[in-house]
């Protein structure tokens, strides 16, 4: 199961997210939950850089369980902060939509940091 944890501050602003595990919803190369989660996550990370010139701080390790952490850099200007929040909201709600259909393969939670 993929466990997606999104961390927000007291002002409901996203700070980071962590993805752990594997969906195991199909054979390697045919796992549609894994493919959807990977595509959405990489799209948000890459487009933060391409569209906003914001490099998220990434920690990744492909061990038996899989691990990806993406964190916001410590400071933003006002416009970029709102835009990166929109991208992260998009990711959170897209993964929640996947969870609704495939809850035995992905769990998405919000955590106050």
Residues 49-70: tens digit of each pLDDT: 999 999 999 999 977 778 999 9
The pLDDT of residue 76 is 66
Domain count, the chain: 1
Q: What is the mean pLDDT of the chain?
A: 93
21: number of Cβ within 10 Å: 17
The CATH number of the domain holding residue 40 is 3.30.70.1490
Which residue segment(s) compose the domain that 88 sits in? 2-112
Residues serving a catalytic function are 22, 34
């Amino acid at each position: 199961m993929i466990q997606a944890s999104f961390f927000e501050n007291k002002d409901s602003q996203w700070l980071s997210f962590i993805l752990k595990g594997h969906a195991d919803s199909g054979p390697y190369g045919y796992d549609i939950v894994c493919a959807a989660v990977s595509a959405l996550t990489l799209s948000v990370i890459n487009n933060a850089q391409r569209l906003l010139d914001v490099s998220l701080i990434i920690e990744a390790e492909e061990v038996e369980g899989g691990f990806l952490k993406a964190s916001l850099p410590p400071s933003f200007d006002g416009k970029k902060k709102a835009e990166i929040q929109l991208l992260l909201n998009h990711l959170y709600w897209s993964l929640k939509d996947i969870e609704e259909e495939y809850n035995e393969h992905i769990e998405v939670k919000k955590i106050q940091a």
